[in-house]
C-alpha cells in the first residue's frame, strides 16, 4: 500500500471496519474514489461534507445496502474484523452491521412487533425471550419508560423523535456489532436530537457507531473521529478536534469554517 493512501487517525484502538482502495460506481458514474480508512471499535465516527459528496453512499457500502441498487458495483475491499464482507453471507453482514435511515421508517405494526421483527426473522420464537429482548432494546434506546404501557399500540402513533428511537431499538434488538446512522436527527427538534445523541454516547460502550450528519456542531460534540468528504473523495480523516480546530487540508478548513458548503 503506498504511503499516505490510508486516511486514519493516530490511534491504538483496534479497527472494526476497514476499507482499502474502495471505488464505487452507479453504472458509469463513479461516486467514490479510492477510499481507504479505518473505523475504530467502540468509538463514534462521523462523516461530514456537502450534499452529494458520497458520504451516504460510503456508509451504505459498509453493510452491502447499495447492492439493492441496480447497476451499483465497487472494487477494492471492505473488511469487517479483517474479513472481506463481499465473501460473507449478506444476511449475516446486515445482522452484524445494522442501519438506521434519515427518515424514521417504523413498520406498520405494533411497537412490540417492530422491535421483535429482526428476532423473529432470525428464528427466535420463545415469548419470554422476545419480551425480555424487546424491553432491553427499548431501554437501551431510552424509550421504555415513555411507551411501556403502549407496546401493542401502532408504532405510527409515536412522535417523530420516538419513531426514530424505535428504529434504533429495532436495530439494537439483534445486537449488531456496528450501527450505521444516516442523518438520524435531520428531521428532529433539538430535544429529540439531544436524546438520540445521549443514546449514542451510551451504546458506543458495546457498539461501534458510524454516523453521517450535515450538522457540524453535532459531529463536533458527538464523534471521536471525523471524516470530511468532497466530490466522492475522503479529503481528511482524523481526531474530531483536529478536524474542527486544526484541519490539515485547506478544503476541510474552508468547509468547517463555512466558506463553502
Residue 104: the pLDDT is 83
Residue 208: the pLDDT is 96
CA-based nearest residue to 58, from 228, 244, 187, 206:
228
pLDDT tens for each residue of 170-218: 999 999 999 999 988 887 888 888 888 988 998 998 999 999 999 999 9
Residue 14 DSSP code: P
Contacts of 145 (CB under 8 A, 6+ apart): none
Residue 172: the pLDDT is 92
Residue 1: the pLDDT is 36
Q: What whole-number distance in Å separates Cα of residue 21 and Cα of residue 33?
A: 8
> Residue 209's Cα: distance from chain center in Å?
6
pLDDT tens for each residue of 78-119: 999 999 999 999 989 999 999 998 888 899 999 999 999 989
Residue 27 pLDDT exceeds 70:
yes
Record the cell numbers describing residue 236, joined without a space. 481528511
Residue 65 DSSP code: G
User: pTM for the full model?
Assistant: 0.89
Residue 162 pLDDT exceeds 50:
yes
Q: Where are the domains of the chain?
A: 15-105+177-256
Residue 121 pLDDT exceeds 70:
yes
CA-based nearest residue to 26, from 57, 68, 72, 69:
72
CA-based nearest residue to 80, from 5, 143, 17:
17
Residue 11: the pLDDT is 55
Domain 15-105+177-256's class? alpha beta
Using a pLDDT cut of 70, give the percent of the chain over it: 95
Top-confidence residue, 235 or 186: 235
DSSP letter string, 156-173: GGS-HHHHHHHHHHHHHT
| Helix extents (H) in the chain | 55-61, 90-96, 111-121, 127-140, 144-147, 160-172, 190-203, 216-222, 240-245, 250-256
Q: How confident is the model at residue 167 (pLDDT cuts 50, 70, 90)?
A: very high
* Residue 254 CB neighbours (<10 A): 14
Using a pLDDT cut of 90, give the percent of the chain over it: 73
Residue 193: the pLDDT is 86
Residue 103: the pLDDT is 82
pLDDT tens for each residue of 52-67: 999 999 999 999 999 8
Q: How confident is the model at residue 12 (pLDDT cuts 50, 70, 90)?
A: low
Record the cell numbers describing residue 36, joined without a space. 481507504
CA-based nearest residue to 14, from 39, 48, 46:
39
Amino acid at each position: 500500500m503506498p504511503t499516505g493512501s490510508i486516511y486514519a487517525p493516530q490511534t491504538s484502538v483496534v479497527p472494526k471496519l476497514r476499507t482499502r482502495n474502495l471505488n464505487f460506481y452507479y453504472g458509469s458514474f463513479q461516486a467514490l474514489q479510492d477510499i481507504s480508512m479505518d473505523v475504530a471499535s467502540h468509538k463514534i465516527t462521523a462523516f461530514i461534507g456537502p450534499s452529494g459528496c458520497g458520504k451516504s453512499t460510503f456508509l451504505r457500502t459498509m453493510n452491502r445496502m447499495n447492492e439493492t441498487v441496480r447497476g451499483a458495483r465497487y472494487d477494492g475491499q471492505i473488511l469487517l474484523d479483517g474479513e472481506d464482507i463481499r465473501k460473507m453471507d449478506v444476511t449475516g453482514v446486515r445482522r452484524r452491521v445494522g442501519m438506521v435511515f434519515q427518515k424514521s421508517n417504523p413498520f406498520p405494526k405494533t411497537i412490540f412487533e417492530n422491535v421483535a421483527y429482526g428476532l423473529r426473522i432470525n428464528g427466535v420464537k420463545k415469548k419470554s425471550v422476545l419480551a425480555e429482548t424487546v424491553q432491553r432494546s427499548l431501554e437501551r434506546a431510552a424509550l421504555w419508560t415513555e411507551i411501556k404501557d403502549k407496546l401493542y399500540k401502532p408504532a405510527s402513533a409515536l412522535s417523530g423523535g420516538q419513531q426514530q428511537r424505535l428504529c434504533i431499538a429495532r436495530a439494537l434488538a439483534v445486537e449488531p456489532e456496528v450501527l450505521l446512522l444516516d442523518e438520524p436527527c435531520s428531521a428532529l427538534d433539538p430535544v429529540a436530537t439531544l436524546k438520540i445523541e445521549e443514546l449514542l454516547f451510551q451504546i458506543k460502550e458495546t457498539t461501534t457507531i458510524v454516523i453521517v450528519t450535515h450538522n457540524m456542531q453535532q459531529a463536533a460534540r458527538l464523534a471521536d473521529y471525523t471524516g470530511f468528504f468532497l466530490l466522492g473523495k475522503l479529503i481528511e480523516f482524523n481526531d474530531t478536534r483536529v478536524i474542527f480546530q486544526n484541519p490539515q487540508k485547506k478544503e476541510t478548513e474552508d468547509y468547517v469554517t463555512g466558506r463553502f458548503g
